[in-house]
Structure formats: C-alpha cells, structure tokens
Structure 1
Amino acid sequence: MLRLRVIARLARLLMVLLLGAGMASVVAVRERLGLQMSIERRQRWSRFFMQRLVAALPFEVQVIGELPQRPMLWIGNHVSWTDIPLLGMLTPLSFLSKAEVRHWPLAGWLAEKAGTLFIRRGGGDGQRLREQISAQLAQQRPLLIFPEGTTTNGRSLRTFHGRLLAGAIDQGTPVQPVAIQYLREGEVDSIAPFIGDDDLLSHLMRLFAQPRGQVQIHLLPPIDSLEKERAVLALQAQQAIHMALFGAEDIEMAPRRQARAA
C-alpha cells in the first residue's frame, strides 16, 4: 500500500511537471521568434502552474491573514524547496533564487522561464542585484526573497540579510512578511525541511511516503520601508516572522545581535 501511494503521488507530480514543461516551452519558442512574453504574464502562468503543483504535494494548507492589495517585496523564512510553490500559488510573483537552481534539471529551466532572478552567493554582484530588485519593484511587480540566504530545519531563524532589502527602500515599496510553518501531528515537521546535502529525489521519496502534513502560511501586516535603514527593516521583518512562528521566546536578544551584522 505504501509503495502504491508513493507511485501514485509521483505519477501525479510528473503530470504536473510535464504541464510546466509545456508552458515553459511556449515561452522559449516565443523568445526564439522574437515575441517576448511580459513578466506579468509569466507571473500569472507561474501561479497557474504552482497551484497545480501544490495540489500534487502531500500537504493540507492553511492561509492566515490577508493578501496585499498592491505590489510589495515579499520576505519569508526558508525551510524547503516546497516554499516556492506554496507561496507562488497565492498570487502572481517573481522569485529571487540562488544561482545553482538555474542548473537544476527541468526545475532550473522552469524557474528561468518563469522570470526568476538569480543571485550568486559571494559573487560580488550586490549592486547589480540591488538594481535588479529595484527595477522589478519600480514596475509594480511583486517579488519574493528569502533573506536568510539558505534553508533551515523550521525550528529557528537565521540572520535576515539587509542588503537584499535595499531595492525596496530605493523605491519606497512596503515589505510583506510571510511566515511558513510545516507541521506533522501538531509538531514541527522533520520531513519537509530541505537542508544540508539532501538531494531532491530522495527528499521527494521521503515526503511522498508519509501521510499528508500541514502547512500554515501567515501573511503578516506589511512594513513601511520609507526612510528606513536596511538593517532596521530586516530586523523588523525578522521579528514579525519570528513572533508568528515561535511567539515571544528569545525574540529580542537574537535579532538584536543579528541586526548589527546585516
């Protein structure tokens, strides 16, 4: 029975990935013909695909809070590759991703055609990244970033890097904090996190072998970015997400130390 469940879930996932490949192929063909597709349309297509991808994942999803009514810079904690479809299904979004994702089989190609911005960690292109984020927000295009820079096990937060928020300050764009939490039988899920040297196929097999888990997505009150230091803005977003995930425990001491390093 367990094996049949895994096979059935993988088969459904494969069908969704084939749909995504077909949609990305349309974008690629249009590019070859010189018919560029707008970022807005790519975002809508991406959301359509991610809604179907989430339906193929073994999660029950609860969204808490209200979607923003204007384009913002979304900031979230990062636990797993599944964060992206779970958040991307909510509204048309573009994403900021590590450069390695561009080279992932199929997933990297799909991300590129969806309009993802890629960042090289330690690549020394901070100013170029700031300009890319600023340009995206200047055109009223919502963008999601994970300012921790890596995934965690869902039990803590890492430092939020303030440099990634500079583009929002440049444009006076509000920040939309979003906290994502994976639960299993009322406890923090130890299977959903995608960390360390884990590989995607092994993670999928473990995830699909288990009963459905729960995901809570907290859409928190927006934070104004006008005339703020980027470290202060990062700290405020980190505190809001920390409070949603863990309550007031240790909320002051850890973020305060991290703000000086942001």
Structure 2
Amino acid sequence: MIAALRVAVVSVAFLILTLALLPVQLIALATGHPVMRRLPRWWHRVMCRIIGLNVRVSGQLSRDRPLLLVANHISWKDILVLGSVADVVFVAKSEIRDWPVLGWLARLQRSVFVEREVRRKTGTQISDVSARLVSGEVVVLFAEGTTSDGNRVMPFNSSLFGAASAALPFAPEGKVYIQPVSIAYTGFHGIPMGRYHRPVAGWPGDVALGPHMLRVIRDGALDVDIVLADAVPFDAATNRKAIARLVEARVREGLNAALRGELNR
C-alpha cells in the first residue's frame, strides 16, 4: 500500500513539475534563450529529490572549455544525477529518441542523438557533438556504449572520442579538455550498498525499463556519488586510443574509491 502510494505521489509530482516548466522550455528552445540550458538542471535537481536520489559530489567541474565529460554508465538515473550537477547536454543512442517519455524528455534537454551502427552518418554526428563543444556547452559521453551492473567499468570505445578530435581546429587553444567522471550507487536507505544489492540501482541492458523504473520509484532513497577527476588536455598530438585508456582508468579509480567508501568529502 505504501509502495503504491509512493509511486502515485512521484508520478503526480513528475507531471506537475514537467507541465509547469514545459512551456518555458519550449519558448526558450524556439527563441534560443539561454534558459534552455539551465532549465533542465533545475528539473533534474527536483526530480532527484522527488525520487529519493541523494547526490554527493567529490571534486570540481573543470572551468576549461571546450569540455567533454566522459562517464561510466549504470542506469537511466545517471541522466538525472549528472543533469542535477551541471548544465550539460548528453550524447545518446538514436533509439532513445523514440522511447515513450524518456525520449521526449531527452529531446527537450537538447540531447545529441547518434546512430553508432551507421558509418555513413558518423561524420555528421561527430560534427553535431563538436559544434556543441566549441559553442561552450559541456557535453556528456557514456563511453562504455551501454549500461553495467554498477560494480565495474567496462572497456571504453575510443571511436566515441572522435568529437573531441573534430572540435580541435575550432578550439581557442587547439585543445579540448576531457574530464573523467565516475558514477557510483553506494547506499540504499542510508545503509552501504554491497555487490549483491547494487542491481537495485543498476540497469543492465537485458532488464526491462518499465519494471526497473517502478522498482526504483517504489523503493527510493539511493545514495549516489559523483567523482570528478582532473580534466585531461586533448590536442592534435594526442593518441585517441591512449586517451581513452587513460580516462577509462581514472573513471575506474573513482568508481572503486566510491564503492570502498574512500572518498574525501
């Protein structure tokens, strides 16, 4: 009974918040007003509180631009969590565009959709992402290309760093900065979350979205740690595969430190 009531309350709060901000965002998108970048952050912050995501941040968002945030990917909740921390845009798989509700929200927050399997579109898609970087927007890339169980970081796809290379000719100093970001779900109702319980937070690709979303809304109260490592400069002399391995290693270090409770707050 309590669980059903919580789902109802969260659903109503989501509708009220979204419908209240929707006209403002649509007008901002139509006119190009800067609030179109800030409004999603407000929405994400409130939704995190409504759902029960307690977001804790270690480190600082880099002030360097152009800035690409490269993170591990555990769940659809990562969008809410990172979106509540900074004014960002996400690189998302093209199929998300057509998902009910989530796809619509992704379009409203100006996500860049890419078709990773269609090589003939790769150049155009990379240009879209690099244009956002050069314009000063902070772009988030989930370099694993899929979600995990939250206990590990899977290998990063170095080809996804192509947007950083494409932005270099237009970057003021001939550099793009890549900041490793680790996302870790570490607590459940205030109790440290072990490997066994982490699937409550994780959303591996073979788990249906609807039931998992309902479970998260019903249970709530998840502690999430965001670890922002130092940004790494990327220039024309940088090897893309080498930078992918370096960033992957730093994201893994941040995840492991968070899971072991070794973060300095």
TM-score bin (small chain): 0.7 to 0.9
1:24–1:110 CA contact under 8 A, matched in 2: no
Counterpart for residue 153 of structure 1: 149
In the TM superposition, 1:40-79 aligns within 5 A as 40-71=34-65, 72-79=67-74
* Partner in structure 1 of residue 171 of structure 2: none
Identity %: 25
SS state at 1:178 partner: strand
Q: How far apart in 2 are the matches of 1:54 and 1:164?
A: 28
Pick one of 126, 129, 132 that aligns with 1:133.
Answer: 129
Q: What is the rounded CA distance, in whole Å, between the counterparts of 1:109 and 1:7 in structure 2?
A: 21
Measure, in 2, the Cα distance between the counterparts of 1:69 and 1:132.
22
Match of 1:100 in 2: 95
Once residues 51 and 152 of structure 2 are traced to their aligned partners in structure 1, the CA distance between those partners, rounded to angstroms, is 24
Partner of 2:249: 239
Cα RMSD of the aligned pairs, angstroms, is 2.0
Match of 2:260 in 1: none
Separation (CA, whole Å) in 1 of partners of 2:108 and 2:13: 22
Large movers: runs of 4+ above 4 Å: none
Gaps of 5+ in 1: 31-35, 248-262
Deviates more, 1:182-191 or 1:157-166: 182-191
> Is residue 184 of structure 2 the alignment partner of residue 181 of structure 1?
yes
Letter in structure 2 aligned against 1:96: V
CA deviation string 1:59-118 (max 9, x = no partner): 221111112223310100000111011101111111100011111123212222322110
Listed one character per residue, the Cα deviations across residues 17-47 of structure 1 (whole Å, up to 9, x for unaligned) are 333544444356x3xxxxx415x44221221
Q: 2:53 and 2:38 mapped to 1: Cα distance?
A: 23
User: In structure 2, what residue type is equivalent to 1:139?
Assistant: S
1:1-12 equivalences in 2 (<5 Å): 1-12=2-13
User: Does the residue aligned with 2:145 lie in a helix, a strand or coil?
Assistant: coil
- Kindly tell me: are residues 215 and 166 of structure 1, through their superposed partners in 2, closer, same or farther at Cα, counting changes over 3 Å? same
Specify the SS of the correspondent of 1:190. Answer: helix
State the aligned residue count: 240
Which residue, out of 220, 224, 229, partners 2:229?
220
Give the whole-Å Cα distance in 1 for the aligned partners of 2:27 and 2:102: 16
CA distance in structure 2 between the partners assigned to 1:66 and 1:2 by the alignment = 36
Instruction: Report the Cα distance in structure 1 between the residues aligned to 2:181 and 2:20, rounded to whole angstroms.
Output: 28
Alpha-carbon distance between aligned partners in 2 of 1:7 and 1:205, rounded to the nearest angstrom: 10
Any unmatched runs of 5+ in structure 2? 169-174, 258-265
